[in-house]
């Protein structure tokens, strides 16, 4: 087994990468949301990658928001293995690899919670986060996986299903490397340091958290009706399509297309007092 220090100087093309994606019953593992689908693509250096995916019985109901995103129904999960049934396979697939995920804290956070339920410790490894890379190197209005796929003209036929998103993440990472390092093979340290830097800037910050119901509506990529409290205290009704979230100073904003004014606007999170999916 190579240590993380030994991996750092190696070109990323010479190490084993494991692309990870999970679909879940909701957004909060700390509130007992669970993994209901998982996919891994293990790519050993320049050799052909191996794909694995499975539905997983979460042993709890699916939320409406999760179904709206991934389309997984309770009927599809009948007879599916539990996470305990697949944990040993996951362990073997993750061994000695550098992890790659899009918005890695989400996927890895759910895996840590699943491991903890089994009394096991999730194997921490160097991690490449394609969201962090995109935010560092690409000036785009959105860094969502689908937006990056469109930017790089990558087919994305199975969006919001675990294996489809794994494949897209793999293609997005390759596209970012070609764009940012056209004449070199970046090292593991060069890519993982971006993730670490992005995470460290957030350490100790009081980060506003999207209310789960609002986050799930945003994930559906459908227009949302909001009631917005303007600076003068007046309430307005807006129909928006959220593209991204950003922090400016102490506040978080939704970056969205305002469907009334037909322009991109920013809406301060703490001034959004009600929200519903537009009928």
Question: Of 105, 102, 127, 159, whose CA–CA distance to 17 is shortest?
Answer: 127
DSSP secondary structure letter of residue 30: G
Q: Give the pLDDT of residue 2.
A: 53
pLDDT digits (tens, 9 = 90+) for 54-97: 999 999 998 777 777 788 999 999 999 999 999 999 999 999 99
Which residue, 162, 135, 140, 160, is CA-closest to 152?
A: 140
pTM (2 d.p.): 0.75
The stretch 184-192 carries a mean pLDDT of 93
Closest to 227 in 3D by CA, of 267, 274, 268, 269: 274
Give 53's Cβ-side CA count (13 Å radius).
17
Q: What is the pLDDT of residue 78?
A: 95
Structure confidence at residue 278 (pLDDT): 75
């Amino acid at each position: 087994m190579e240590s993380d220090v030994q991996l750092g100087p190696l070109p990323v093309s010479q190490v084993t990468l494991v692309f990870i994606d999970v679909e879940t019953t909701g957004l909060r593992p700390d509130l007992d949301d669970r993994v209901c689908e998982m996919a891994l693509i293990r790519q050993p250096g320049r050799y052909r990658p191996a794909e694995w995916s499975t539905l997983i019985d979460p042993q709890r109901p699916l939320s409406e928001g999760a179904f709206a995103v991934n389309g997984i129904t309770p009927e599809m999960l009948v007879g599916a293995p539990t996470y305990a049934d697949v944990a040993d396979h996951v362990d073997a697939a993750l061994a000695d690899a550098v992890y790659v995920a899009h918005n890695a804290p989400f996927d890895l956070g759910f895996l840590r919670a699943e491991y903890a339920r089994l009394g096991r410790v999730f194997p921490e490894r160097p991690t490449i986060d394609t969201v962090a890379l995109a935010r560092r190197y690409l000036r785009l209005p959105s860094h969502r996986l689908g937006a990056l796929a469109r930017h790089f003209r990558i087919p994305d036929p199975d969006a919001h299903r675990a294996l489809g998103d794994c494949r897209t993440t793999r293609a997005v990472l390759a596209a970012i490397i070609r764009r940012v390092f056209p004449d070199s093979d970046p090292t593991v340290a060069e890519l993982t340091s971006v993730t670490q830097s992005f995470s460290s800037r957030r350490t100790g910050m009081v980060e506003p958290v999207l209310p789960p119901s609002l986050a799930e509506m945003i994930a559906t990529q459908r227009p949302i009706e909001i009631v917005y409290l303007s600076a003068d205290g007046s309430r307005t009704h807006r129909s928006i399509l959220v593209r991204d979230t950003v922090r400016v100073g102490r506040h978080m904003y939704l970056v969205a297309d305002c469907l009334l004014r037909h322009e991109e606007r920013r809406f301060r999170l703490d001034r959004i007092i009600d929200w519903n999916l537009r009928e």
